[in-house]
Structure 1
Amino acid sequence: MWAAKVSWWAIRKRACSSFSSSWFSSSPSIPSHSGRLASGSVRYLGLDLPDAWPCALHSQPSPKPHIDRRASIIDGKSIGAMVKSQVAAEILRMKDSIGKQPGLAVVLVGKRNDSHSFVRIKMKACHEVGIASSAVELPADCTEDEVIHVISNLNNDPSIHGVIVQLPLPKHLDGERVLNDVKPEKDVDGFHPLNMGSLAMKGREPFFIPCAAKGCIELLLRCGVEMLGKNAVVIGRSKIVGLPASLLLQRHHATVSVIHSFTKNLQDLTREADIVITDVGVPNMVRGSWLKQGAVIIDAGTNAVKDPSRKHGIRLNGDVCFEEAVQVASAITPVPGGLGPVTISMLLSNTFDSAKRAYGFV
């Protein structure tokens, strides 16, 4: 099975601009970075301890950079549209050749407005490229077994090539158990342990790579950013962006440092980085003074900030203070309009790849 896969990394190195089907909780309060409680007793850290970034990191004003220049703004909307166009062309070729099309199913639990909004965006994108999409909605008080029963049916449906579970799930559901029940071959979000583990192992390729992390590398490649031998810092270690992005950067032979909420002297580390990817969830945490002159910044943060001047009273902010970083970096993604559109296009690409594999289409 593994031998049949096409090498994504080899193809991307050959032609970044051409389409390749293979490329395509709240946190507990943490009193200090020392790992000790106020009483002096040792806090033993579990492997799943989430990051809780202290407010002090972003509450202090940052010195204004003394340089009169502005970074290139990486246009994620344009790049995402290019990828979507390439995926749509390949899907049309599939329909003309074998009369088949990819299918994506979303499992949606509860009535969260943000989750329903994200699902609508994904389904609209599917429609635009020719992917058949559907959503299976379950009530917020459904049982874990009910969710898994739905996933099992989708796993066994030959017309469905991608199955995603919209996160977050209600607290009474075991998210890991639910996600792990999606077949690795249909896990187009790339979160299954088999896919994540294969990404971390030399000589193996996952069925799918998490879409946001894959989007980070797509942006770097399409912008001609050299990764080989460069110092890269990934701020955050989630399975959605931070962890897989750090593994992908290593695949491209970058020297990678992963920063988390227990990292000391994190600003010193970021000042040495040629490439910075943020995955924090704290608006404006990364200041201009943290960055090396000429660094490339991929901001994966999508933080809702109150703004009475906006129609809905909020605006989206990244993890990076854009107004400061743009005077230091050589290139930077905006929020919104940076990584987001490319992430959606990676989901479409993954779903098409799954259909290709299922139908033996080349």
Structure 2
Amino acid sequence: MAAKILDGKLAAAAVKSELVERIAALKAQGVTPGLATVLVGDDAPSHSYVKMKHQDAQGLGLASFERQLAAETTQEELDAVIDELNANPEVHGILVQIPLPKHLDEQAVLERIDPAKDADGLHPVNLGRLVLNVNGEIDSPLPCTPVGTIELMQRNGIELAGKHVVVVGRGITVGRALGLLLTRRAINATVTLTHTGTADLAAHLRQADVVISAVGVAHLIKAADLKPGAVVLDVGVSRERDETTGKSKLLGDIAPDVAEIAAWISPNPGGVGPMTRALLMSNVVQAAEAAQR
């Protein structure tokens, strides 16, 4: 059995297509949704990620505001940039690219962003609203990668109600938020959240209807760990250096042999990544709409 592919590029194109009319309606009111990014240092993958986000924004006709800062930037200097973007009415969504240089306090930076302009949905206020299940009532942004992961399945007709989903990794950007979203009544999945303290990961994986891995350990999950017919999504990212070429190769958490037994599998790259960026655009548009109310 060869797994069907969860094509993130195709699904992301559909999400962005649905945003076009909303963006046009905002522009008719004289409002252009604006995305601001803050990038500190010279991390090559971070520069690549930010570049792709602005390409997405420009492709949709959103305004782009880029702030690239030196690796030696102080906490006070970074705070001042965030304050400036918070105060700018043309900016509706702010994203600070993580990781930051080690001398900077990432949590303090995330908390300094205006919750209404939190494009990634990771501000403590917005995460608290996710816990309380009140985001939709007040147009609060949701974390992009977890929402993108779920939408990728739903847009391919995968039914999640009543299914057992095993999430590998408890990080705040993916794992913990996924557990909250998947157990909402509108989705009604049953979730097991596994992590480094889980005694027998394979035993949990073999019981799963859906496996979502987001730990960044290359080829952690293999075909032998899964039951046939599972839906498998690869959210983890790690890099391996090719000593011959000197270039780094992007690897996911899911081993290639999983495609032989899974019913569905998301490629990496080309799976959840494009959906994350599409949901980022959606959060910016939503914030611009909320600002007009």
Counterpart of 1:326 in 2: which secondary structure?
helix
Tell me the alpha carbon deviations over residues 129-188 of structure 1, each in whole angstroms, 9 at most, x when there is no partner: 011011112221121111111111111111110011111111111110011000110001
Mapping 1:187-206, distance limit 5 Å = 187-203=118-134, 205=136
Tell me the alpha carbon deviations over residues 194-243 of structure 1, each in whole angstroms, 9 at most, x when there is no partner: 11111112455471111111110111110111111111100001111111
Structure 1, 81-90 or 213-222: larger mean CA deviation: 81-90
Mapping 1:324-343, distance limit 5 Å = 324-343=257-276
- Look up the match of 1:356: 289
- Look up the match of 2:212: 277
RMSD: 1.5
- Look up the match of 1:236: 169
The residue identity in structure 2 corresponding to 1:197 is G
Instruction: Give the counterpart of 1:129 among 51, 55, 60.
Output: 60
The residue identity in structure 1 corresponding to 2:231 is V
Compare the two structures and name the one with the higher helix fraction.
Answer: 2
Counterpart of 1:123 in 2: which secondary structure?
helix
- Look up the match of 1:301: 236
Provide the C-alpha distance between the structure 2 equivalents of 1:203 and 1:139, rounded to a whole number of angstroms: 38
Counterpart of 2:260 in 1: which secondary structure?
coil
Q: Given the alignment of the two structures, is residue 176 of structure 1 paired with residue 104 of structure 2, yes or no? A: no
- Look up the match of 1:318: 252
* Native 8 Å contact 1:92 1:130 kept in 2: no
Counterpart of 2:183 in 1: which secondary structure?
helix
The residue identity in structure 1 corresponding to 2:195 is H
Q: CA deviation at 1:313?
A: 2.7
Provide the C-alpha distance between the structure 1 equivalents of 2:278 and 2:243, rounded to a whole number of angstroms: 32
Provide the C-alpha distance between the structure 2 equivalents of 1:203 and 1:212, rounded to a whole number of angstroms: 19
Provide the C-alpha distance between the structure 1 equivalents of 2:249 and 2:73, rounded to a whole number of angstroms: 33
Tell me the alpha carbon deviations over residues 294-317 of structure 1, each in whole angstroms, 9 at most, x when there is no partner: 1111110122123467x7633222
Provide the C-alpha distance between the structure 1 equivalents of 2:84 and 2:95, rounded to a whole number of angstroms: 13
Provide the C-alpha distance between the structure 2 equivalents of 1:114 and 1:295, rounded to a whole number of angstroms: 31
* Native 8 Å contact 2:15 2:278 kept in 1: yes
The aligned length equals 289
- Look up the match of 1:106: 37
- Look up the match of 1:141: 72
Q: CA deviation at 1:99?
A: 2.1
Provide the C-alpha distance between the structure 2 equivalents of 1:136 and 1:152, rounded to a whole number of angstroms: 13
Is the radius of gyration larger for structure 1 or structure 2?
1
Q: Which runs of 5+ in 2 are unaligned?
A: none
Provide the C-alpha distance between the structure 2 equivalents of 1:287 and 1:115, rounded to a whole number of angstroms: 28
Tell me the alpha carbon deviations over residues 289-336 of structure 1, each in whole angstroms, 9 at most, x when there is no partner: 111211111110122123467x76332221011x21111111000111
Distance change (3 Å), C-alpha of 1:312 and 1:349: farther
The residue identity in structure 1 corresponding to 2:216 is G
Instruction: Give the counterpart of 1:290 among 225, 239, 246.
Output: 225
* Native 8 Å contact 1:108 1:166 kept in 2: yes
Provide the C-alpha distance between the structure 2 equivalents of 1:200 and 1:291, rounded to a whole number of angstroms: 30
- Look up the match of 2:98: 167
* Native 8 Å contact 2:6 2:153 kept in 1: no
The residue identity in structure 2 corresponding to 1:278 is S
Structure 1, 337-346 or 82-91: larger mean CA deviation: 82-91
Counterpart of 1:105 in 2: which secondary structure?
strand
Provide the C-alpha distance between the structure 1 equivalents of 2:50 and 2:65, rounded to a whole number of angstroms: 10
Provide the C-alpha distance between the structure 1 equivalents of 2:133 and 2:181, rounded to a whole number of angstroms: 11
Q: Which runs of 5+ in 1 are unaligned?
A: 1-68
Instruction: Give the counterpart of 1:210 among 143, 156, 165.
Output: 143
Tell me the alpha carbon deviations over residues 96-147 of structure 1, each in whole angstroms, 9 at most, x when there is no partner: x212110111111112222211111111110000110111122211211111
Provide the C-alpha distance between the structure 2 equivalents of 1:99 and 1:177, rounded to a whole number of angstroms: 34
Distance change (3 Å), C-alpha of 1:317 and 1:171: same
